[in-house]
Chains A and B, each alone.
Chain A
Amino acid sequence: MSKLRITLKIIVYLLSITLSIFSALIGYDAYNLASQGIIVGESSTVQGTEYVNISVPITIRVPGYFFDLSRINITIVIIDEKNHQYARDCELIPYIPLGGEKNITIELSLPITVAQQWVNGSITLYSKFIIRFWFSKYNYDFLGFGIAGRSELQRE
């Protein structure tokens, strides 16, 4: 009876240790991804007759210790103060293994009339960056994150 009790207690301790280890791994991988996993490069602009085309190169790295990334959805939207959308593009990356990286380019087409209004200072434009992804392992999606950030577009 005593041996059974000790065995059961050991299993309970092992289960709680497993949960703690997994929590630490999630925290570690999330910190690494946030600090060095998403790199937004210098954007380039090409002016056409009707649209201004903006290209934003983005590199996604998986620098963690345990989890892979899956179902990564990156979206950039150009909006005004009233949340009216002027340009939008998104890219979907199905899977990046641990230690891997993937380069993508987001292409935004902003109407030239809007761009001119923005240059004149008659409207304020914001870029909204949205990224959604899952921490996964062995084809199981464990934990999903969605990050959305908005910042004002700066005139040069």
Chain B
Amino acid sequence: MGRIRTLISVLSTFVSLVILPIMSVRTVYNMGIIVPKFDELTIIILGCSITVLTLIDGLTPGKAGALFSLIKYSASAYYSYKILNMFSWFIYQSQQGYAELYVDWGLWLILVISITLLSGLLSAMSKAVEKPKKEGEPKKS
């Protein structure tokens, strides 16, 4: 059951952190909107790294798992910082006119990073206090 949950978690992480951002930028590009700061390679590297960390976090129990959980959430916070800065400038150009959209993520960015790091800390703590599962009957000497 734990492994199935980990597998679902890994797949949803990969889709939401790698596939969805790249597909959405390509979709808006086809509509004439350019995202000049978007760097596909950074998204792939960071997204795949977090996916691997999600897998290790799901398969590692106890305090080692708690450490991986903390690393995963820290990487997610960095990913949020990078991707929000990439999605801060949009250009739309057509024959009728030209438009630009700037987004200053300001306090929202700080809030997202803080909540992600806090979630990571709490998640790691909850994993650290997890009781180890008993594996079969204890050996009789």
B122 touches A147 (CB 8 A): no
> Closest CB-CB distance, A53 to chain B, in whole Å?
24
Which 10 interchain pairs have the tightest Cβ spacing? A144-B104, A146-B102, A8-B126, A151-B97, A149-B99, A150-B98, A148-B100, A5-B126, A8-B122, A143-B108
- Digit string of A131-153 for contact with B (CB within 8 Å is 1, else 0)? 01010000011111111111110
In the complex, whether B83 has a CB less than 8 A from a CB of chain A is no
The 8 Å CB contact of B96, one of A11, A145, A151, is A151
Beyond A1-B131, A145-B102, A147-B101, whether A8 also contacts B123 by CB under 8 A is yes
CB contact list, B98-141 vs A, under 8 A: 98-108, 111-112, 115, 118-119, 122-123, 125-126, 129-131
Residue of A nearest to B73 (CB): A12
> Which residues does chain B contribute within 8 Å of A47, judged by CB atoms?
none
Could you tell me how many residues of chain A have their Cβ less than 8 Å away from some Cβ of chain B? 29
**How far apart are the CA atoms of A140 and B104 in the complex, in Å?**
14
Residue of B nearest to A143 (CB): B108
- Digit string of A6-34 for contact with B (CB within 8 Å is 1, else 0)? 00110110011011001000100000000
Given A5-B130, A142-B108, A143-B104, 20 other A-B residues pairs in contact with their CB atoms under 8 A: A8-B123, A8-B125, A9-B122, A12-B119, A15-B119, A15-B122, A16-B119, A19-B111, A140-B107, A141-B107, A142-B106, A142-B107, A143-B105, A143-B106, A143-B107, A147-B101, A149-B97, A149-B100, A150-B99, A152-B97
